[in-house]
Amino acid sequence: MAVSHHPLQLNSNLKEPLCRRQWTVSSTSKVLSKFELRSFSASFFCSSVQISVVMRRLEFLCLGILWILAALQQVKSHGSHPFSKIAIHKSTFALNENAGVKASPSVLGLKGENTEWVTLKYSSPNPSSDDWIGVFSPANFSSSSCPMDNPRVYPPLLCSAPIKFLYANYTNPKYKTTGRGLLKLQLINQRSDFSFALFSGGLAKPKVVAISNRVTFANPDAPLYPRLAQGKDWNEMTVTWTSGYGIDEAEPLVEWSQNGKDLMRSPAGTLTFDRNSMCGAPARTVGWRDPGFIHTSFLKELWPNNEYTYKLGHRLTNGSYIWSSTYKFRAPPYPGQNSLQRVVIFGDMGKDEADGSNEFNDFQHGSLNTTRTLIQDLKNIDIVFHIGDICYANGYLSQWDQFTAQIGPIASTVPYMIASGNHERDWPGSGSFYDTMDSGGECGVVAQNMFYVPAENREKFWYVSDYGMFRFCVANTELDWREGTEQYKFIEHCLASVDRQKQPWLIFLAHRVLGYSSCTFYAEQGSSSEPMGRESLQSLWQKYKVDLAIYGHVHSYERTCPIYQNICTNDEKHYYKGALNGTIHVVAGGGGASLSPFITLQTKWSIYRDYDYGFVKLTAFDHSNLLFEYKKSSDGRVYDSFRLSRDYRDILACAVDSCPSTTLAS
């Protein structure tokens, strides 16, 4: 098969990188072992340098590679990173006229589809079991346009990281013998064209053997992936979406109506960001991908609990319109309204590939199950809170588009509220409370733009969300929350200002565990939560009688008794009647990322643990009755639950440290 023409340019002026530092890898993970060598691609190449590989230590790497790998080192939230054992050698281009890759169809979305399957046919005269196919977008991944991160960091040979890859023998067991293969890959509309490269030499010595024809969507600029969120007012819904249309090309808007009557149009604001907004590699180097334009419209004065239809639009300069599909949502209830209200909460979901391909940060294998289970039960869900570690892009920006496509059926139908996690925000020298590289250089910028939250300052990312009989106080654990800080004052105001007669169910949400967890990585630190978490906040939870504090970060499920200062305040486990006298702490970080193990010691305060993927569902029947359920993502069945039944007077009743000291007047 002949090699398809591709305008790939090689940069002959690349200099030798400096090789000075040492990067030590961890080999502690057992959960990810089979993926450790499958999540790397040909984007991290350094010319004219010979790199030796030792089993557990990569020494004298060029600084360009080092900066990228440093962003991917072990993080506490999920053990060893899947890149913890990588062999990297000098890459070469070995385009072979007898090898080839052909992709069909070459034009996708002719009927308006945003997701399509592409068939690849490929051949190699020297096939090997470690040959692989990389997916690139934009199609031209030339090194000639690679910027330097700083004067001492040189670009890799390939400018853009592949979006994903599959081994050539994935569905072709005879590939090594015949040299021919066929793959089906799923692509989403990401505002640019695609190409597919066949590599030999495995991941250790990658060689570009052949490059395919270009593939593109009929309208790569189309408005896509709507994300609903509650606005700052109770009767307001925001709609955020992504397109390729800048404000000089088209005016963004939402056309909406109540049951098809009285059609209205609301304008949208437009945001974007550039490479210089990123804090470091890989987000501003090989992981960078143009995010397009992000639009947000505010639909106001909604009637509570009424159903609305809407569609996304762009008015072009010639007066014509580009429209999306039509979607539906139900307006939020009035704060305090007595009606059935159902809330789903989880953290750390990430994304996964339906076609079985590998990708960067390839350890979120429960993600698709969680997504599918929620979609199947969507008629019984009113609002979703994803409390941090959203998609684990870790500086590879193409993953954000793929995540918004994955959750599209959910986020286009019910409000999808997010919180900030370490994989969205943390970066050294960026003001994050934790001085880690977990965000891959994104330092919160991508999450703050891709999703709307009703915060006074979206960079700070803490906010109040009132939904009917619920008050949610959403904290940002990646910024300082300790007593005396701005966030501490916000948390106290959020808890203190709620009218518990109208909104009896008071919920505290945060990413990192500020309460209680039996996870091993906390135990190894001699703790059961983040340092200074309970010390700073438990007095507030007790004073304002917080019912539930729910966290992510630990990739499993755990529920405590109602507790205050390490003491259970109620011996019941499944039916609480009257005052709790403490707060129930829940870890719900099993959305999809690799699971976190527990210690073997059974503490008195830990009522239920599950080393599996799942999510929490809260159902408020009225002002006096709440149902809590933990469901597994694999089957949607309930594995842990309790009921809370009480009257307003039970909330008013004093518990330890929850009422002011008495005086002579009393």
Kindly state the percentage of the chain with pLDDT values over 90.
73
Q: What is the pLDDT of residues 545-579, one digit of tens each?
A: 999 999 999 999 999 999 999 999 999 999 999 99
The whole-angstrom separation of Cα 596 and Cα 80 is 11
**What would the 3-class secondary structure string for 334-350 be?**
CCCCCCCEEEEEECCCC
Q: CA–CA distance from 378 to each of 27, 344, 446 (Å)? A: 40, 10, 27
Residue type, 308: Y
In a domain, residue 283? The reply is: no
> What pLDDT is attached to residue 665?
60
345: domain CATH number is 3.60.21.10
> What pLDDT is attached to residue 456?
95
> What pLDDT is attached to residue 80?
30
Q: Which single residue is written with the structure tokens 């009637």? A: 303
pTM (two decimals)? 0.86
DSSP three-state, residue 173: coil
Rounded (to 5) percent helix, strand, coil in the chain: 15, 30, 55
- Mean pLDDT for 251-261 is 93
Instruction: Name which residue leads in pLDDT, 86 or 191.
Output: 191
Residues 211 and 343 in one domain: no
Given a cut of 60, whether residue 83 has pLDDT beyond it is no
Q: How confident is the model at residue 361 (pLDDT cuts 50, 70, 90)?
A: low
Q: What is the pLDDT of residues 52-75, one digit of tens each?
A: 333 333 333 333 333 333 333 333
Last residue of a domain, one of 171, 190, 217: 217
Residues 213 and 344 in one domain: no
Q: What is the pLDDT of residues 509-545, one digit of tens each?
A: 999 999 999 999 999 988 999 988 899 999 999 999 9
Phi and psi torsions of 318, nearest 5°:
-85, 5
The whole-angstrom separation of Cα 625 and Cα 333 is 17
In a domain, residue 497? The reply is: yes
Residues 6+ apart with CB under 8 A from 381: 342, 343, 344, 374, 410, 414, 617
Q: What is the pLDDT of residues 269-319, one digit of tens each?
A: 999 999 999 999 889 887 899 999 999 999 999 999 999 999 999 999 999
In a domain, residue 621? The reply is: yes
In a domain, residue 625? The reply is: yes
In a domain, residue 597? The reply is: yes
Given a cut of 50, whether residue 50 has pLDDT beyond it is no
Q: What is the pLDDT of residues 588-618, one digit of tens each?
A: 999 999 999 999 999 999 999 999 999 999 9
Last residue of a domain, one of 217, 239, 255: 217
Q: 357: how many CB neighbours lie within 10 A of its CB?
A: 23
Residues 613 and 477 in one domain: yes
If 0-12 CB within 10 Å is exposed, 13-18 middle and 19+ buried, where does residue 458 land? middle
Residue type, 165: F
Mean pLDDT of the chain: 85
Tokens for 253, please give them: 């808007």
Are the beta carbons of 293 and 270 closer than 8 angstroms?
yes
Given a cut of 60, whether residue 138 has pLDDT beyond it is yes
111: domain CATH number is 2.60.40
Q: What is the pLDDT of residues 417-471, one digit of tens each?
A: 999 999 999 999 999 999 999 999 999 999 999 999 999 999 999 999 999 999 9
> What pLDDT is attached to residue 140?
84
In a domain, residue 107? The reply is: yes
> What pLDDT is attached to residue 645?
98
Given a cut of 70, whether residue 654 has pLDDT beyond it is yes
Given a cut of 90, whether residue 17 has pLDDT beyond it is no
> What pLDDT is attached to residue 152?
38
Last residue of a domain, one of 217, 241, 275: 217
Given a cut of 90, whether residue 371 has pLDDT beyond it is yes
If 0-12 CB within 10 Å is exposed, 13-18 middle and 19+ buried, where does residue 401 land? buried
Are the beta carbons of 534 and 527 closer than 8 angstroms?
no
Q: How confident is the model at residue 85 (pLDDT cuts 50, 70, 90)?
A: very low
- Mean pLDDT for 227-256 is 97
Strand 341-346 versus strand 614-620 pairing type? antiparallel
Domain count, the chain: 2
If 0-12 CB within 10 Å is exposed, 13-18 middle and 19+ buried, where does residue 562 land? buried
**Residues facing 237 on adjacent strands:** 230, 299
Given a cut of 60, whether residue 373 has pLDDT beyond it is yes
Instruction: Name which residue leads in pLDDT, 148 or 613.
Output: 613
> What pLDDT is attached to residue 201?
83
Q: How confident is the model at residue 142 (pLDDT cuts 50, 70, 90)?
A: low
In a domain, residue 431? The reply is: yes
Residue type, 597: P
Q: How confident is the model at residue 340 (pLDDT cuts 50, 70, 90)?
A: very high
Q: 201: how many CB neighbours lie within 10 A of its CB?
A: 19
**Residues facing 626 on adjacent strands:** 620, 644
Could you list the residue range(s) of the whole structural domain that residue 120 is in?
100-217
Q: How confident is the model at residue 158 (pLDDT cuts 50, 70, 90)?
A: low
Tokens for 340, please give them: 């059935």
Strand 416-419 versus strand 567-568 pairing type? unpaired
If 0-12 CB within 10 Å is exposed, 13-18 middle and 19+ buried, where does residue 435 land? exposed
> What pLDDT is attached to residue 660?
78
> What pLDDT is attached to residue 65?
33
Q: What is the pLDDT of residues 72-81, one digit of tens each?
A: 333 333 433 2
In a domain, residue 627? The reply is: yes
